[in-house]
Amino acid sequence: AWAAALLVQLPAPLLAVVTTVVAVAAALGGQRHPHLRATLAGAALVGAAVLTSALVRIEAVTDGPVAALAAERAAVEVVGVVRADPRRVTGTYGDQVVVRLEVQEVVGRGLRHRLSTPVLVLGDLAWEAVPLGARVRTTGRLAPADDDDLAALLPGAAAPVVLDGPDVWWQGADAVRSSIREAVAHRPDDQRALVPALVDGDDQGLDPDLEEDFRTTGLTHLTAVSGTNLTLIVGFLMVLARWCGLRGRWLVVVAAAWIVGFLLLARTEPSVVRAAAMGTVGLLALGSNGRQRALRGLAVAVVALLMVDPGLSVSPGFALSAMATAGIVLLAPGWRDTLARWLPRWLAEAIAVPAAAQLACTPVVAALSGQVSLVAVPANLLVAPVVGPATVLGLAGGLAGLVGVVGDPLGRLLGTGAGWCVGWIVLVARTGAGVPLAALDWGTGPWALAALV
């Protein structure tokens, strides 16, 4: 499936040649090996499905009315739904706000089109107040987009007119995110910024120097939405549900409810959907007969995600997520069981999961950055025991703050506990980044990466 999505990047004539060669090889190989015939037929079917999805998506985005108007740089009026939180960026001509809009209606060149296509809006600071999920109207002049996932850009967009507010579930998610920030508002700056980033990926206000230290020590995954967030909190909820007497299918209901809640809380962007899928696979790996079920789950997750968004095939984040999940599936259960002989099982699991993920991702990180962090695995081992408590306490503090007057002191108390945990993470990141030769320059050629593996 991954190869099929990558093939879309090839020129059409070369794509035709590659497809023909693969088809002939499949036909010849299947004649001598009946089992191989079934395997190749299944692989061909999956590849064809992903390839078809990719071509349809590209056709819809790059050859639709919005892309045609953008090629003419036409002045338009658009109506659409905000699909990502507005983000302020600093440019040559001052601050602007970037918003991803799903355009539902566009008027240009005297014609009105109803559709559903993604457009990136660059507007003034008035866009910063527009909530996620709101339906807005604006005007401007379209421009072509370099990203295949976008139909066009809308730079210099007029101030938005909000036609409809966000749905109730988006309002609830915003309330929880705000409450999480309130629960740690009394903590030092680094802790105040890192707790929301750890719980729901809300990294606004994170110190750039601290982000660099996290990169050096291989802890960047803690500041972004990942499957780890989902796995930790679902694991906690499952323990809590068992303590309350729930068994069997009710546990599945609890897990499914939180996965939906996680998507809303962390936003339904491609990276979040990917994290939710990979986190679910990670949960399968830690159950009984987990390795076999999780390997199937990982394969299904990769195929399904590529069918929904074939562009993930060239996304470094997707590669890292898949590798991290594979590390958790193949390595973490055995490491956990071995460590559990002389450590509490919860602590063994807290150490095994991030260490396995970091080890599996190291060759991919080296290929992308040309560096190997010599402190990444020790740093991840040192922070692993507090990542779970920090995530759970941060979320619990946010939920407690929603209760009202009684919940505010409890929310701040839980937020203080989360702050203490992330304070240790900050200390490890800053100390590890200051170690001589914390990161080693490494080649990105095939032999260098093979040696690293």
pTM beyond 0.75: no
Which 3 state secondary structure label does DSSP give 82? strand
**Inter-helix orientation angle 290-308/270-285, to 10°:** 170
Q: How far is residue 35 from each of residues 30, 32, 163, 343, 424, measured CA to CA in Å? A: 8, 9, 58, 45, 54
Structure tokens, 135:
């339906």
Q: Which residues are bridge partners to 90 per DSSP?
A: 95
Which DSSP string corresponds to 356-370? Answer: HHHHHHHHHHHHHHS
Q: Which amino acid is at 162?
A: V
Residue 302: beta bridge partners? none
Q: Fill in the amino acid letter for 130.
A: V
Exposure string (b/e) for 85-105, b if CB count within 10 Å is 16 or more?
bbeeeeeeeeebbbbbbebee
Is the separation of the CB atoms in 50 and 42 below 8 Å? no
- Look up residue 45 and give its two tokens: 């079917």
Contact (CB, 8 A) for 230 and 262: yes
Name the residue among 99, 103, 179, 89 with its Cα closest to residue 131: 99
CA distance 380 to 378: 5
Q: Which helix (H) or strand (E) holds 310?
A: none
d(CA 63, CA 49): 21
Confidence (pLDDT) at 395: 85
DSSP-based three-state secondary structure for 63: coil
Residue range 251-282, pLDDT digits in tens: 777 777 777 777 777 776 666 777 777 767 76
Distance CA(123)–CA(141), nearest Å, equals 12
pLDDT of residue 34: 64
From residue 10, alpha-carbon distances to 5, 17, 52, 227, 367 in Å are 10, 11, 14, 31, 22
User: Which residue from 174, 205, 211 is spatially nearest to 192, judged by alpha carbons?
Assistant: 205
Rounded to whole angstroms, the Cα distance separating 228 from 329 reads 13
Rg for the chain, CA atoms, rounded: 24
Residues 274-301 pLDDT 10s: 777 776 776 665 555 667 777 777 888 8
Residue 2's pLDDT is what? Answer: 63
Residues of the chain with pLDDT under 70: 1-34, 93, 224-229, 231, 268-271, 279, 282-290, 404-407
Q: Are 283 and 231 in contact (CB under 8 A)?
A: yes
Cα 126 to the center of its chain, rounded Å: 27
DSSP line for 327-346: HHHHTHHHHHHHHTTTS-HH
pLDDT tens-digit readout, 336-365 = 999 999 988 878 887 887 788 878 888 888
